[in-house]
Structure 1
C-alpha cells in the first residue's frame, strides 16, 4: 500500500492544536456537544439521573464508550460509562453517589475552576452529595459552562456553572429536578448563552408534562426515555440526515435502593444492548475499608 493512502485516511482525525488551544483559552463550545435530559425523582424506589437522549452525540462516538470500574484504597468504588481516556463522566459509586453532566453554551471560562471531568471525578470520589458539593465549590467550581447533577437516595441537587457564577438547583415542590441544555437559573446579564439548542426547551417541557402523569413505578420511569414526541429532536433522539446530527448513545437509570444502574446502549426505544451495573463483594469490601 502506498504511504499516501493511510496519510489521507488520517487527515480528518488530526487535531489542529493552535485552534484547540484558542478554544480552551476563550471558552468556545462545540455546538452538538453532550446533550442530556436529566431528571431526579425523589422516591424510595430510586433517585435517578438519566441522560436522555440519554447521552446524545454523533453516532460514531458510541464506538468510544466503555464501562469502567475504578477501585482505590480508602475511596468508594466507581462504576461509570465514559469515553476511553476520560477519567470522570456519568456514573455512580459504592457509597450510593451518582452524577450526571450537561453541556451549556456560554462563551468564556472560569480560569480558577476545575476541568469538567475532574469535577465529575471529584464527585464520584465523594461519600455523599453534600461532600461533593463542598469539595467542588472549595476548588473554585467548574472552569467550563456546564450543569452537573449529584444525588443519592436521600438528597439531590443540580449545579449550573457559568463564567460569572455558580447556581444551585434544588428539587421543586413535587420532588423533581429536571434539566436539559439551557440555563434555568439566573447568572446575570453578562452570562449570555450562545446559540443554545432550540429543542432544549421543548424537551424540558415535554419531560415535565410526562412527569405530571408519572405513576411512580420503575417501569414507567424507564419508558419516559423512550418518548419520541417531536421526533427526531425527541427525548429519545434519532439521527436523521440533513436534520438531526445527534442521536441517543446510551441511557442510564440508577436505583439507589439496590445500588445498581441499568444501562441501555443505543436509543432506549430499541437498545442495542442492556445490562446492569452492580457492586460485587470486592467493591463492598472496598466500601467497608473506606468506612462507607
Structure 2
C-alpha cells in the first residue's frame, strides 16, 4: 500500500502556508468536498452554514497566535481557495459539535503513552489509532514545518489543517482524543491548539498553550516529552484537568475521566465502546509494564477485542449504511521521542505495515525510512 504524501514547508508564516496550499491543493480540495458531504449528510449542516459559523473563530485564532492565522491565509492563497473554506477546515470539530448536535459524528481514537521505567529500553513512546470517516482517508498528508525560532514540526494532518498529531524537534509530541459535552461556545479551535502545542519546547509550555484561552470544544490532549514524562490534559470549553501517569503509562479514549471536571459528557449517551477501548489498552499496558516497546504498542493498536468497534476499528456497515461515512481507523502512529522518529500505518494497522518517518537532514525532504 502506498504511503502518505510528504511535504516540506519553510519561510515566514504566510510563505509556509502558501507552500502548503500549493503542494497539497489536491488533498485540500478532497477534504473540502468530504466535509461538505459529511456536514450535510452526517449533521444536517450546509457548507454555507459551516463557513459562516467558522468566521466567528477568526478573532480567536488571531488572539491565540497571529502567526498561525497568517499561515491559514497563506494556505488559502496558495491553493487558490476562499479563506472561509480553509478556516472551516481548521474549525471543523467545532462546527460538527456546536452546530450538529449530539447525534452528529465525532472522531474517536485510542491514545497511549509510556515512559521510563515502564518502557523496555527506557524510551519515551506515544501514539494512537485515529478513527474517523472513510471520506477523509485520501486527504491525509505528512508535513514537515521549518519555522525558526520555533521548533521544526513533523506531523500527520488533514491537508489544509495547520496542526494535528505529531512531534517537534525539541522532543515534544501530542496525540488527541475528541470529547463531547453539551456546552456550546466559541473559543480557540482544537486544531489551532494542536499547532500551539507543537510550537512549544517543554511540557509546561504545551499545557499553557491548551489552557490559556477558552476553547471551542472539548478534547483530551495527550502530551509527552523525550525527557521521560507524559501527561493528559482533559478539557471542556473552560474547565480542564491534568492527568499524570504514576505507573509510567497512560491511555485515553473518548470520554471524560477526571472527577474534577463537572460536565455533561454527551458520549455517555451512545459511544459505549470508548470505555472498553480504554480499559483494554490499560490492561494490556499494565501486563507488560517494564517491557513496553514500539512493537508491543503496535500490537495493542491491532487489538480486535469487541470487533468491529475495537481499538483497531473496522466500522463494518449494515446493508443500508453508507461506508464512506463510517468510522474506522484511518491511520495508526507510534512516536519514539528518544530516537526522534515516528511510524505510521495507512489504514488499520492489522492490514498495513508501519513506515518510519524522521526529520529531514540538511534540508532534504522528510520521507519514510524503508
**TM-score range, shorter-chain basis?**
0.7 to 0.9
Aligned match for 2:224, one of 128, 151, 154: 151
Tell me the secondary structure at the aligned position of residue 125 of structure 2.
coil
Cα distance in 1 for partners of 2:47, 2:217 equals 20
Q: Deviations over 1:59-90 (max 9, x none)?
A: 22111101111111211111111011100000
| Structure 2 gaps, min length 5 | 1-32, 41-45, 55-93, 365-370
Q: Deviations over 1:213-255 (max 9, x none)?
A: 2232332222111111110011111121128931111111011
Q: Which residue of 2 aligns with 1:246?
A: 327
For residue 211 of structure 1, report the CA deviation from its aligned partner.
1.3
Tell me the secondary structure at the aligned position of residue 265 of structure 2.
coil
**CA 19–78 in structure 1, closer or farther in 2 if over 3 Å, else same:** closer
Q: Deviations over 1:167-193 (max 9, x none)?
A: 111113x2111100000012554x101
Q: Say whether the 8 Å CA contact 1:182–1:196 is kept in structure 2.
A: no
Tell me the secondary structure at the aligned position of residue 200 of structure 2.
coil
Aligned match for 1:183, one of 226, 249, 256: 256
1:274 aligns with 2:354: yes
Map 1:155-174 onto structure 2 (within 5 A): 155-172=229-246, 174=247
Q: Say whether the 8 Å CA contact 1:150–1:156 is kept in structure 2.
A: yes
Aligned match for 1:228, one of 301, 304, 327: 304
| Structure 1 gaps, min length 5 | 1-8, 285-292
Q: Which residue of 1 aligns with 2:28?
A: none
Q: Say whether the 8 Å CA contact 2:294–2:334 is kept in structure 1.
A: no
Q: Say whether the 8 Å CA contact 2:107–2:133 is kept in structure 1.
A: no
Aligned match for 2:211, one of 134, 137, 147: 137
Task: Point out the structure with the larger helix share.
Answer: 2
Deviant stretches of 4+, over 6 Å: none
Q: Which residue of 1 aligns with 2:177?
A: 102
Q: Which residue of 1 aligns with 2:191?
A: 117
Cα distance in 1 for partners of 2:146, 2:114 equals 29
Aligned match for 1:192, one of 228, 249, 264: 264
Aligned match for 2:277, one of 176, 199, 203: 203
TM-score (norm. length: structure 2)? 0.66
**CA 282–105 in structure 1, closer or farther in 2 if over 3 Å, else same:** same
Q: Deviations over 1:76-124 (max 9, x none)?
A: 111111011100000101111101111111122454x421111100110
Cα distance in 2 for partners of 1:282, 1:151 equals 26
Tell me the secondary structure at the aligned position of residue 332 of structure 2.
strand
Cα distance in 1 for partners of 2:222, 2:135 equals 26
**CA 149–110 in structure 1, closer or farther in 2 if over 3 Å, else same:** farther
**CA 218–62 in structure 1, closer or farther in 2 if over 3 Å, else same:** same
Aligned match for 1:47, one of 121, 124, 129: 124
Q: Say whether the 8 Å CA contact 2:216–2:237 is kept in structure 1.
A: yes
RMSD of Structure 2 on Structure 1 (CA)? 2.7
Aligned residues: 269
